[in-house]
Amino acid sequence: MHSGALAWLLEHDPYAGFVLRSVRDRPWTDDVRVTSVPRREAGVGGRSADLEFAVSWQDHDGVLVAFETKVQDLLDAEQIRAYKQGGYQPLLYLPGTTGLLASRNPAIGAGEAILTGDMVCDALEPVEDELPALLRGYVWDVRHEAERFAAAIARAAGKSADIPDGKTSAQTLIDIAWITAVIGELQNRCGADAGSTIYPVDKLASRDVAFDRGFFWADTHTTPTGDFGQGNVGYYIDLIVVKATGERAVVIKAGFTRNSDALGRVYDHAQDVGPPTGRWARGRRRLNGESVGCWRMSAANLGASEAADLAVQAARWIRSVGP
């Protein structure tokens, strides 16, 4: 639905210009124009892009664009890089929860341009009444979801805001908005005072897997002092929101291996060191994956600032056990 609607808009002036001029981090100038009919499910860089088309502006002629729509699934960084390596300008359309969850993530590094649902709606507002009825209905639907996202973000900021009914469950929006608010809090703190977060936040990014979503703070990955025969196995921080129950927690994990013996030694070392404070709970010694939770602190009913405090507390613990 989303890619089809955008394909129609890109095929027709003046709508194509309104949409393309609203794109964030775009390489083109305001005189941009589409110079080829968008082709669907096109092979690009060994991958399949939702749309492929060419644009021209000023002294740039026939620049190829790989257009990828992500609504509720995660961005595939390798896919976007493959588009770039194949000679295409990646353009990501993120009208759903994917865009909200990834809104605080660092750039993939492929020069990707970004288009969100609210950008499309704002861009088309001057000509919305001229759109065919089906396209007007699409814009209304996207705008309604964007307004629900804004309400969830306001809730995460501690403001009173009702979330109207819509396609995505209100609880999912609340959880995702809270995750991004915690990421934003850590980023803002680090920007104001680099030492306040103990570690940098350059690689701090949201994540979404089968049973939970949250963030992975890769910058905190630290191997413990001493030789446990663990190689690269070290500690790092996850923020977790369990999808089925809504449980929220900050977790100090050991990981980066499938060697259960090495993982177990690093887990045991964390237990010998003890928790950051007496309120942290011991994680279960499950060694059948690539990581294991060492210490866990509930973040239930906490605002973004309080949850960020826990993450910094965990970072301070990791720093204390590192070399």
Write the CB contacts of 187 (distance below 8 Å, at least 6 apart in sequence): 104, 201, 204
Give which of 248, 260, 226, 225 is closest to 300, Cα–Cα. 248
Distances from the Cα of 248 to the Cα of 162, 189, 215, 284, angstroms = 22, 21, 11, 17
Can you tell me whether residue 216 is helix, strand or coil?
Answer: strand
Question: Does the pLDDT at position 228 exceed 70?
Answer: no
Residue showing tokens 């920007």: 191
Average pLDDT over residues 152-158: 87
Q: What angle do CA 296, 300, 302 make, to 5 degrees?
A: 110
- In contact, 148 and 164? CB cutoff 8 Å: yes
Average pLDDT over residues 89-116: 90
Mean pLDDT score across all residues of the chain: 93
Element (H, E) at 282: strand 281-282
Distance CA 117, CA 130 (A): 19
pLDDT in tens, 177-200: 999 999 999 999 999 999 999 999
Residue, of 99 and 20, whose pLDDT is higher: 20
Ranges of each domain in the chain? 2-150, 194-321
- In contact, 229 and 262? CB cutoff 8 Å: yes
Confidence tier at 168 by pLDDT (50, 70, 90)? confident
pLDDT in tens, 252-282: 999 988 889 989 999 999 999 999 999 999 9
Give which of 89, 75, 84, 74 is closest to 45, Cα–Cα. 84
Residue, of 1 and 187, whose pLDDT is higher: 187
Can you tell me whether residue 276 is helix, strand or coil?
Answer: coil
Question: Does the pLDDT at position 160 exceed 90?
Answer: no
DSSP secondary structure letter of residue 167: S
pLDDT in tens, 51-89: 999 999 999 999 999 999 988 877 788 999 999 999 999
Predicted TM-score of the model (pTM): 0.87
234-253 as b/e: b if 16+ CB within 10 A: bbbbbbbbeeeeeebbbbbb
**Quick one: tokens of 171?**
């609880």
Question: Does the pLDDT at position 314 exceed 90?
Answer: yes
Question: Does the pLDDT at position 45 exceed 70?
Answer: yes
- In contact, 11 and 27? CB cutoff 8 Å: no
Average pLDDT over residues 141-164: 89
Question: Does the pLDDT at position 230 exceed 70?
Answer: no
